[in-house]
Amino acid sequence: MFVFLSKLLDIFFSPLTWGLLFLAAAVPWRAGAKVHLGRRRAYGLLGLVVLLSASSSPIAHALLWRLEHSTASTYRDDVTYDAVVLLGGVVDEEASAVSRQPSYNDNVERLVMTHRLLRDNKARFVILSGATSNPKYADFGESAMLARQLEEWGIKKDRIILESHAWNTHENAVFSQEIARARRFERVLIVTSAFHMVRAEECFVAVGMKVDTLAVDYRGHEHPGTAVADWLPRASALAITSSVTREMFGRLVYRAQGYGIAARP
């Protein structure tokens, strides 16, 4: 139920959704209906403002940069961690199944950094946390694919622990904690994208698991540009703004559910 509601909220809080709703409110749908011209113009203008603002590269990158830098990594180079937890959200399972080869999305830096930590013996084990999105793609599921990739890159199989049940960040924390307790891991590091790190850390704090953090996959620009062309609407900028709003509201929803507790003031 929570997974369904989270997907529904993703749509509800999307700037595209709100822009289209305001534009729809500006249309006189019923013939002969009393027209409030001023109100409809206001809705139409508001819809355009929402869509154009959300599609602006400077605005999108400013929001993303702020989100990514809302926390700091606590990773210590002088520590050998018992385990590094790689949070899922890296593999495109359907594309991998069709092409019969690994297909990764923009979060692939999570995998690259995890391999580096294991290669340099900064962590003894890795917990690959993430469920398969569709049973028919089980052979190309998140954990299985990442495990095979790490093995191909030279990481021994006995250092790789699969956690293939987590559907969201809350469950990443719950199931990773179970593994850590069973194996008596004390020093644990979590690796995820910078924009997602606050919510991830709060989830681990909520289940009573002390972790260090290493944020990767920075995409936001502190100085995104001021040229006129930079302000022209772009679908890529709208995608960034949508990701930012989804993550911001995701934090609030998780806190309301008790799945996330602020780790630091």
- Domain chopping of the chain, boundaries: 2-69+232-257, 81-216
| Predicted model pTM | 0.86
Question: What is the pLDDT at residue 34?
Answer: 61
pLDDT tens-place string over residues 24-50: 988 877 765 566 778 888 999 999 999
Question: What is the pLDDT at residue 39?
Answer: 83
Terminal Cα-to-Cα distance of the chain (whole angstroms): 31
Question: What is the pLDDT at residue 36?
Answer: 75
Phi, psi of 216 (to 5 degrees): -135, -175
pLDDT band at 191 (very low <50, low <70, confident <90, very high): very high
Annotate 61-104 with DSSP letters as a single string. Answer: HHHHHHHHTSS-----TT--EEEEEEES--B-HHHHHHHTS--B
d(CA 192, CA 108): 10
CATH topology for the 81-216 domain: Rossmann fold (3.40.50)
d(CA 257, CA 261): 10
Which of 74, 82, 146 shows the shortest CA–CA distance to 112? 146
- Residue 119: Cβ within 10 Å count: 13
pLDDT tens-place string over residues 196-231: 999 999 999 999 999 999 999 999 988 877 778 888
- Taking a C-beta distance cutoff of 8 angstroms, is the pair 232, 53 a contact? no
Question: What is the pLDDT at residue 265?
Answer: 47
